[in-house]
Structure 1
Amino acid sequence: MEGQGIGRGQQPERRRRGRGVRLRGGGVGRQNRGRGRRGRGHMRVPDEIRATLVDHVLNHGLTMAEAGRRVQPDVGRTTVSSIIQTSCRQSRTARQLHRVGRGPLFTPEQEEAICTMVVENNAIRRREIKSAIIEDNNIFENIQTVSISTTDRLKRHQMNMKQLYTVPFERNGERVKELCYQHVQRIMELEASEPPHNFIYMDEAGFNLTKRRRRGRNIIGHRATVDVPGQRGGNITMGAAISENGVLTHIPIIGPYNTERLVTFLDTLYRDLIPEQDRGQIGDDLPKYVIVWDNVNFHRSNIIRQWFATHNRMLMEFLSPYSPFLNPVEEFFSAWRWKVNDRQPHTQMTLLAAMVTACDDITADACRGWIRHSKRFFPRCIAREDIRCDVDENLWPNRQERQEV
């Protein structure tokens, strides 16, 4: 009847005849139709089923669709067609291994030869490696041309670009090796003797206002800059002594250290080490303090020798030449410079304050770590081995041996 509303569940005639909203790829249960094989994904047919499909089609005369329906799971007609074509053209039913590119250019033996070039000459350039490969008709006889980028693919052998450390020629001479041997022997004898000997490592390092970090960050195409005073100012020298208890004494002065200023430093160190009530005591059972330092001229002056002669509990031991790796205070100054830079001093007075407070940031644990690191060179000095550098890669070629004992 006209004028009456349409009840629930009823629809107009024209809507019943319409097709309604058409879903891409079909309705419910047909989500993957109309999209090719994207819904199914790539099917990898095992070799046994491939052989079965070839037998059904070529030997038993089945159609490709029938052969595909007889195996489990079902294989599409186009897949069966591809397998049959491969069987007819290449006489094989097994799948080929997936390969990308042309494969490796160098054999393992050739890669080992390139690594040997780098180990023998750490400053070698990639162009030089390329020339050596092309000119070598023995190991690289099958290589007629090679790109520079290919010669740099040595990361699988744990080789990478890094900073070059300069090594003096005299360091590994026979004379210096013998002096290193004698120094280590002397230190080990003092460690084992009675009364106990406490080792103190002392050195001096200069600083000025223009010293800053050498590396920074900025947007590609723009230089990294930092503001510094226009005048570098006078050098300020820091004298410092460390032991297993941390930083003992540190005195900055304007200008370089000399014999007179070194005596002042030693007097301060003596007062810091020995309490006032114990300074006049004499006895073989009292602990002694051994100052280890380098061979700079004013360390060997007669005034310094007289000072040690009048202070019977203080001894001195000279490092062998070209062996800063045996003095842990070198690593102390390396860390100390970074801490001074972090304070960004712009005047001489602020620089003096920054140098003093930076020493307070060095912990006793860090000093003990540097001392342990220097003692790891003792076996190599005893064996009179060549010591190229004091970095971990030369000390422990095997990564598993880098753990502290």
Structure 2
Amino acid sequence: MNDMEAQAFQRGRGVRVRGGRGGGRGGGRGGRRAVITDEIRATVVDHVVNHGLTMQEAGQRVQPNISRYSVASIIRTFRRENRTERLPRRGGRERTFSDAQETAIVNMVMANNALTIRQIRNTIINDQVTFPNILTVGQATVDRVLRRNALRMKQIYRVPFNRNSDRVKDLRHDYVQRVLELEAAEESNTFIYIDEAGFNLSKTRRRGRNIIGQRAIINVPGQRGGNITLCAAINHNGILHHHSIIGPYNTARLLIFLDTLHKSLIPPDQIVHAEQPRWKVYERNPQAQMPLIQAMEEACGNIAPEAFQGWIRHTRRYFPRCLAREHSL
């Protein structure tokens, strides 16, 4: 084989190297096309048309660099159609809902968080004013719209309907305003927080851990039994007074609690409300170790003063929202 035959063999039927130029995934023309933004297109047109640069020079002046063939295509489009922007994406099915209609769906869910996908779908089909082009739609399409707008299924949090009424907002505003006035006064004032919490032997933690495929269980009494209510008064230093009774706290029982607190500590006109140390009782597992009332009494002594201070700081985070009369959730 002479030299010319060897060169022809190398050009024609030589050994093909995998992954070389023009072969394999992502190599040569088989790679993913780079997206040239409208800003880069306008810059390239300015370099060539207004400043007289060549195609290759204009392609090297932008980052990332583009080839002279891409520059030539951009200039050709500019001269033929007088535009530098890319055309909108075409092909495929058209959108089922417009932007305004998707906003209406989002507002529908925001107004009623308990709507199911089927109810949303039926509302869309029946509402021919907002959705005149929708004669039928699948639940999967509605679900994609909700996910695209960052709406997810969550556990419903029950809120009393009077919590965000105008009267309650005004009361919260007046309460915070009074607290700030007392803190700004020359004489020092001590704030005492009072609240009550109900307990029952059947109440346990709602979440636990176990091996995948097996339920997380906990043993509870067969009968629910009566409720036991604990009322406590706290400040920054800890629990000042607590008392537990069988059944709920009514007005008469609360007045007795306030009288006892008044005799031991402060006048009752300076008392406000606070969080309850509920889970300290359940951590003692009272249904298996001791009577519930005894567990409640002993749990009150296991709470460090830092925990009370943290609860009080947490309540003060809502002061700006109360002063602005915002919704409370």
In the comparison of the two structures, how many residue pairs are matched?
Answer: 263
- Residue in 2 aligned with 1:284? none
- Residue in 1 aligned with 2:269? 316
1:387 corresponds to 2:310: no
Unaligned runs of 5+ in 2: 1-12, 36-66, 68-86
**TM-score, length basis structure 2:** 0.61
Give the whole-Å Cα distance in 2 for the aligned partners of 1:158 and 1:362: 39
The structure with more radius of gyration: 1
**Which amino acid is the alignment partner of residue 100 of structure 2?**
E
Distance 1:318 1:354, change over 3 A: closer
**Which amino acid is the alignment partner of residue 298 of structure 1?**
R
Unaligned runs of 5+ in 1: 1-25, 48-72, 74-95, 259-294, 320-326, 390-405
- Helix, strand or coil for the counterpart of 1:137? coil
1:377 corresponds, among 318, 323, 326, to 318
Over the matched positions of the two proteins, sequence identity in percent amounts to 45
1:112 corresponds to 2:58: no
| C-alpha displacement of 1:211 | 0.9
**TM-score, length basis structure 1:** 0.51
- Residue in 2 aligned with 1:131? 122
- Residue in 2 aligned with 1:341? 282
Contact 2:258 2:268 (C-alpha < 8 Å) held by counterparts: no
| C-alpha displacement of 1:195 | 1.9
Distance 1:151 1:340, change over 3 A: farther
Alignment of 1:124-203 (within 5 A): 124-153=115-144, 154-203=146-195
- Residue in 2 aligned with 1:205? 197
**Which amino acid is the alignment partner of residue 108 of structure 1?**
D
- Residue in 1 aligned with 2:59? none
For 1:217-267, what per-residue CA distance to the aligned partner results, in whole angstroms no more than 9, with x for missing partners?
67888765431123445544333333333x324646462587xxxxxxxxx
For 1:187-228, what per-residue CA distance to the aligned partner results, in whole angstroms no more than 9, with x for missing partners?
232222232112121222222221112345678887654311
| C-alpha displacement of 1:104 | 4.6
1:238 corresponds to 2:227: no
**Which amino acid is the alignment partner of residue 328 of structure 1?**
A
* Larger relative contact order (Cα-Cα within 8 Å, sequence gap ≥ 6): 1
Give the whole-Å Cα distance in 2 for the aligned partners of 1:312 and 1:343: 30
Give the whole-Å Cα distance in 2 for the aligned partners of 1:45 and 1:377: 52
Distance 1:192 1:149, change over 3 A: same
1:328 corresponds to 2:314: no
Give the whole-Å Cα distance in 2 for the aligned partners of 1:358 and 1:216: 22
2:253 corresponds, among 298, 301, 312, to 298
The root-mean-square deviation of aligned C-alpha atoms, in Å, is 4.3
2:18 corresponds, among 15, 32, 41, to 32
